[in-house]
Structure 1
């Protein structure tokens, strides 16, 4: 008799080669992980490589990815060049949403196939999925490279044309995500995972607030791995639970007995505006192992809920799924009608899962459902709608609208099938992983969302399962600011880097932006934070400001002075070849550059906490490139330095990343990699004090310490 472990992984294959095989669906399809594999049975691993591979392949073909993963990993330790096994391991990790390890596995596959055109076309989907995994872990530049490589392929499969369109959209999404990272003020929301017993090691999702302290949601609560025998007639099912908060603590959830089905999955509830109707999904798997859901409704009479019945009016359609209901309303000509938004894969949609609606008639009947239209729906998947009555906005998640990666939360204004362009909630809410089931408890103040971002609660891996997070909008103030020159003329398109540091802890927020045409910008901040502002523009000296939020002007004015020509070559002490020189064409032509000489890249500028090369740096890098081309025997060290702000280890990593990026830039320009060494020193080699004698910040000293140098290793 064989035992199995059931792991939740929301899977719904809408069409061949869908972007995310682990697409969000209303119920949790339970995948099988054998106890033999789970316990890393020595007898299994003692088998020959061929037997182990056969077992891994069998599990993979059956969709038992959690079974297959450890077997492939063990097999590949001794068979590093087995391309098919690397591909299947990567796909299994991808399907289980373990994107960091999937990216590593795809990388190993790419090393084996990148020089063979035929193999690249054979494994064409790997490039697309590799890009998706890299987006999930927010490696957007590398993700773009994989999408571009995908577009250069020429496979003969009929779905490639459609996937090319998706890849092009993903390239733009990567750029949009990078912009959102720069523009986001990540302190907009305070986000905390709800504690046990609300969140279990399995997925918890599909939530609705019954009142300010009662949460109804879907779960398979278990503190341990769930085992079931092969010959059991019924596997465990997800059900609805109610958790209540009392005296500041969440109590153990209780089953919602009025709605749950003993044998089928019950999920995704929604209360009507008057609280008298409750709609939810009941889902089951058919003989073809396809999940089908239908929406049921229960009504409250005399304080008691009626027996759930399948909702009428064409909302449920045979052979297709209808799920994730959300009650809303629509007012026209002073008449308010109840509306039910829901998700379905029925014909007539835009592709994948779409959001539909049905309005109730004057006779109390639900009308034939209508697609919400192209303003909301795409050829991807739009799921988990939530209608906010106070604002009249529809919140939903999409894996196609431009986002951070995976499913992002969006909102749109409008009604029924007429909606304005959806807005992404930005990097303060969304990550590269999946964010779904956004809902307000109190409109525009606090609520919840569901995410598989990294947490310690998952029963298998970091990202397999979903958790419920409480979100609270923070009070954010705005300080108007303006940049002018010495003559008080407003300066447009000045690069602004902002860093906000908490007074009480090590929390910090970094962002960057450009001033407008009138030199204006706004600093968004919270109380009890200090603000650091750095302004840079070609032709001007950099300007720095350090402020405390308890003592701010009505408007911050930053004055930038025109840069002066610095002919430091006349002041070089020939007995001190290590004395830093400011890199310029004049210096490299006139100075005697020897082994040990240090060149300061004065125009190299990085935003606070960022390693991305800014446009102002290109001037210095081009000078350095010309110097290396004209001196082909010279070898250099790129040295990255930071000031003392922040954690020592983070500063060391940041400086190394910055040095690596400069090295990569020069290599892409054709400089041989063996001529360049990149070293990050963090804050260990200051060239000026970071603080004044009285303990206050030495802004000028910190500016000098945040530098990049070139050290001549061989001349």
Structure 2
């Protein structure tokens, strides 16, 4: 086994999860100690080997050691402590600046943005002709560090000074990325989100990521730990599965997940449980031939842990990688990421129907609406909102991996939307979990390396709901004019009521709570008849902080306001003595006058048209007068205050025959009752 093979550092962990623990690399390099001493002259060649293997952090240290050798050998066995430059010279490098540029590349690929930025800037400042691209990468580093103004300035300088170069297309994408970041950071609704790093009570900065519910407040998480037994030539640091309790924003009591026949040379992580909690799906991966090889396994629940892992044959394809399984809440599908044949690009989102025994059927690609020519990873399906959340590095975003959400199911998806700032950052944002009990932002957890030089960390996400308003307008039923000063009472099914008064434009507004369809409105205004109406949605408007639902326009009818000196005429249908709706409104107004004037009295006179006999019309007119009197008496007016008299067809107010022809309109005006209100003079 050569020196390179003795350091199986996982590229997936290094690049995606960014577990760049210095102690990991120091201990891993110990196996190379003797060979490193004997080949001190070949330090650059060794650095190049680490770089080619994807161990960029170690490569960066070796390049730095060559450029700045220590004066005195330390007691450490790590090859970074090579004492001096050897006789092999610079190899394929023309000068020290070329080596420094390679060191900058190493730090960038290891996601050490501060170190990379300094080195890139020095390369460009010292030789802008040879290293113009260093300015581009310097801008990328500044964007990753959140220094957006410096990134924009450097990017503009690079674009203006290097037209037509190979990096122009990438520079254009970076410019779009900075524009997108600016737009996202200025979004008014960002104030609704609260993102906070989850504390871990392990006593160190160990990376903990990819949390998934395991029951109540229990979560499965992935973390990087040192194996209790170190094997010769095997990296002692691996990713392992743990179970933890989430209490008040802190993951506590991390305990290893026991899996039979666990191979310590493999990494385990990103697990998901079946709905009955009896099957666990997870990824196992290893370093092989300078790359990462990952596959999805499942195990079944036992009394003391989980059974020996079983490879899922249909999910894993020979010569390809599959990882990051997620079992849906109904147990019907297993979503996962894979670079298997038949995809759109590199890693795609796939799903496979699950059988009752936990085995998966033939996988199906989620389609080109979801997948791109780049990488799509870490799927999570929120059944409560029919939303797929996943990470992508090939869509417009803020940098690195961004989280996207797409509504739909299986291969029928709406266009994915960037979940925006502050869920996404200018660094890698990957892995998402949210409770099925509420919205997609309810009890949400994300993985991100924002604010960290080391590791992917877990953050809590909460979102205050936007304000929801119900707005409407009240008008006059007759002329459609807006009614100012109308009292509007909104009543919920619970019985709770809210009051509002219309403005000059007749508008009213209420804060919405609960089901929008469970609303009733009570309207009133002086000189208008009261009204009750049900909620009827008539459109709406969506805003950053407020969503407004419009209720259908409401109207009130003006009612007759009777004063003491008025004579009120009440009309009847042909041959009827029943009170019309309009008549009851008039009598209600008379009632109000009598209540306000306790000494006032009324006289009701009944009339008919000229049709019918004198005797019949006398009886009908009596019924009409009596109907008015009875209505007021029933409302509480003392009968002694009311007198009535019947006149039959006497005293028409309109002609019933015109030029020998019948005049129906005239007859209708004669079918009436006259109500005189009398208020005695003040004593």
Normalising by structure 1, report the TM-score.
0.53
Compute the displacement of 1:77 (Å): 6.6
Inter-CA distance 269–230: structure 2 relative to 1 (3 Å threshold): closer
Matches within 5 A, 1:26-105: 33-34=25-26, 59-60=50-51, 63-70=54-61, 72-73=63-64, 82-105=96-119
Matches within 5 A, 1:483-502: none
Match of 1:472 among 458, 462, 487: 462
Q: Which residue of 1 aligns with 2:275?
A: 273
Q: Which residue of 2 aligns with 1:285?
A: 287
Compute the displacement of 1:342 (Å): 0.5
User: Aligned partners of 2:107 and 2:98: how far apart in 1?
Assistant: 14
Q: Which runs of 5+ in 1 are unaligned?
A: 13-20, 330-335, 456-462, 482-519, 526-715
Compute the displacement of 1:28 (Å): 9.0
Decide whether the 8 Å contact of 1:219 with 1:241 is kept in 2: yes
Q: Which residue of 2 aligns with 1:320?
A: 320
Matches within 5 A, 1:628-647: none
Compute the displacement of 1:34 (Å): 3.7
Decide whether the 8 Å contact of 1:406 with 1:434 is kept in 2: yes
Q: Which residue of 1 aligns with 2:298?
A: 297
Match of 2:408 among 414, 419, 436: 414
Compute the displacement of 1:166 (Å): 4.8
Say yes or no: does 1:403 pair with 2:397. yes
Compute the displacement of 1:262 (Å): 3.3
Say yes or no: does 1:24 pair with 2:16. yes
Q: Which residue of 1 aligns with 2:579?
A: none
The residue matched to 2:186 in structure 1 has which SS? helix
Decide whether the 8 Å contact of 2:322 with 2:339 is kept in 1: yes
Q: Which runs of 5+ in 2 are unaligned?
A: 70-89, 472-540, 547-683
User: Aligned partners of 2:29 and 2:299: how far apart in 1?
Assistant: 43
Compute the displacement of 1:344 (Å): 0.9
Match of 1:202 among 203, 206, 216: 206
Decide whether the 8 Å contact of 1:32 with 1:66 is kept in 2: no
User: Aligned partners of 1:194 and 1:377: how far apart in 2?
Assistant: 30
Say yes or no: does 1:453 pair with 2:457. no
The residue matched to 1:237 in structure 2 has which SS? strand
User: Aligned partners of 2:124 and 2:470: how far apart in 1?
Assistant: 49
Q: Which residue of 2 aligns with 1:378?
A: 372
Compute the displacement of 1:83 (Å): 2.3
Decide whether the 8 Å contact of 1:339 with 1:360 is kept in 2: yes
User: Aligned partners of 2:29 and 2:19: how far apart in 1?
Assistant: 25
Decide whether the 8 Å contact of 2:7 with 2:235 is kept in 1: no
Q: Which residue of 1 aligns with 2:120?
A: 106
User: Aligned partners of 1:285 and 1:84: how far apart in 2?
Assistant: 29
Matches within 5 A, 1:206-285: 206-221=210-225, 231-233=232-234, 235-245=236-246, 250-258=251-259, 260-285=262-287
Which stretch of the first structure deviates more once superposed, 233-242 or 377-386?
233-242
Q: Which residue of 2 aligns with 1:356?
A: 350
The residue matched to 2:103 in structure 1 has which SS? helix
User: Aligned partners of 2:234 and 2:95: how far apart in 1?
Assistant: 42
- Map Cα deviations across residues 511-546 of structure 1 (whole Å, 9 max, x no partner): xxxxxxxxx996849xxxxxxxxxxxxxxxxxxxxx
The residue matched to 1:472 in structure 2 has which SS? strand
Larger Rg: 2
Decide whether the 8 Å contact of 1:136 with 1:404 is kept in 2: no
Q: Which residue of 1 aligns with 2:432?
A: 438
The residue matched to 1:355 in structure 2 has which SS? strand
Q: Which residue of 2 aligns with 1:180?
A: 184
User: Aligned partners of 1:230 and 1:258: how far apart in 2?
Assistant: 19
User: Aligned partners of 2:22 and 2:317: how far apart in 1?
Assistant: 24
User: Aligned partners of 1:36 and 1:326: how far apart in 2?
Assistant: 32
Match of 1:346 among 328, 340, 348: 340
Decide whether the 8 Å contact of 1:355 with 1:385 is kept in 2: yes
The residue matched to 2:212 in structure 1 has which SS? strand
Inter-CA distance 132–368: structure 2 relative to 1 (3 Å threshold): farther
Inter-CA distance 362–284: structure 2 relative to 1 (3 Å threshold): closer
Compute the displacement of 1:107 (Å): 1.7
Inter-CA distance 246–350: structure 2 relative to 1 (3 Å threshold): closer
Which stretch of the first structure deviates more once superposed, 230-239 or 140-149?
140-149
Decide whether the 8 Å contact of 2:284 with 2:296 is kept in 1: yes
Q: Which residue of 1 aligns with 2:593?
A: none
Compute the displacement of 1:315 (Å): 0.9
Normalising by structure 2, report the TM-score.
0.55
Inter-CA distance 363–296: structure 2 relative to 1 (3 Å threshold): closer
Decide whether the 8 Å contact of 2:296 with 2:325 is kept in 1: yes
Alpha-carbon RMSD = 4.5
Decide whether the 8 Å contact of 1:26 with 1:268 is kept in 2: no
- Map Cα deviations across residues 618-650 of structure 1 (whole Å, 9 max, x no partner): xxxxxxxxxxxxxxxxxxxxxxxxxxxxxxxxx
- Map Cα deviations across residues 365-405 of structure 1 (whole Å, 9 max, x no partner): 63322221221111221111111111110111111211111
Which stretch of the first structure deviates more once superposed, 203-212 or 248-257?
248-257
Inter-CA distance 231–210: structure 2 relative to 1 (3 Å threshold): closer
The residue matched to 1:400 in structure 2 has which SS? coil
Q: Which residue of 2 aligns with 1:137?
A: 145
Aligned length, in residue pairs: 441
Compute the displacement of 1:337 (Å): 7.5
User: Aligned partners of 1:221 and 1:22: how far apart in 2?
Assistant: 14
Inter-CA distance 36–261: structure 2 relative to 1 (3 Å threshold): closer
Inter-CA distance 59–258: structure 2 relative to 1 (3 Å threshold): closer
Decide whether the 8 Å contact of 1:31 with 1:66 is kept in 2: no
Decide whether the 8 Å contact of 1:8 with 1:30 is kept in 2: no
The residue matched to 1:251 in structure 2 has which SS? strand
Compute the displacement of 1:37 (Å): 9.7
User: Aligned partners of 1:469 and 1:296: how far apart in 2?
Assistant: 27
User: Aligned partners of 2:291 and 2:46: how far apart in 1?
Assistant: 24
User: Aligned partners of 1:439 and 1:262: how far apart in 2?
Assistant: 28
Compute the displacement of 1:277 (Å): 2.6
